[in-house]
């Protein structure tokens, strides 16, 4: 969990995969962008799939939750990376 000056609550690190980026690269990048910590992927925690209606679009989201580790300082955190895999009207 992360907190910062923009929010008055804690949240999980997350974001989107950039075009041409692997899911693993996205997780490491997002964690660094939001925490300043260089982490390594330890293992996949679980995958969650969600369908929802947004504006006039139907969306499908696939969320992977990953366990990460850092040797300096020792830490284990979980994070998520999300991508919308299909958009239809």
Q: Is residue 38 part of a domain?
A: yes
Q: Is residue 4 part of a domain?
A: no
- The per-residue b/e assignment along 28-55, b for 16 or more CB within 10 angstroms, e otherwise, is bebbeebbebebebeeeeeeeeeeeeee
Q: Is residue 64 part of a domain?
A: yes
Q: Is residue 58 part of a domain?
A: yes
pTM above 0.75, yes or no: no
| Residue 20 confidence (pLDDT) | 92
Averaged in consecutive runs of 10 residues, what is the pLDDT profile of the chain (89 residues)?
66 80 88 83 87 82 82 59 46
Domain coverage including residue 65: 23-88
């Amino acid at each position: 969990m992360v907190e910062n000056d923009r929010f008055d609550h804690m949240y999980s690190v997350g974001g989107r995969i950039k075009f041409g980026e692997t899911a693993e690269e996205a997780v490491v990048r997002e964690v660094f962008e939001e925490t300043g910590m260089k982490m390594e992927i330890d293992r996949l925690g679980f995958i969650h799939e969600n369908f929802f209606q947004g504006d006039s679009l139907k969306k499908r989201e696939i969320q992977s939750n990953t366990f990460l580790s850092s040797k300096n300082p020792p830490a284990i955190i979980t994070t998520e990376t999300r991508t919308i895999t299909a958009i239809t009207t």
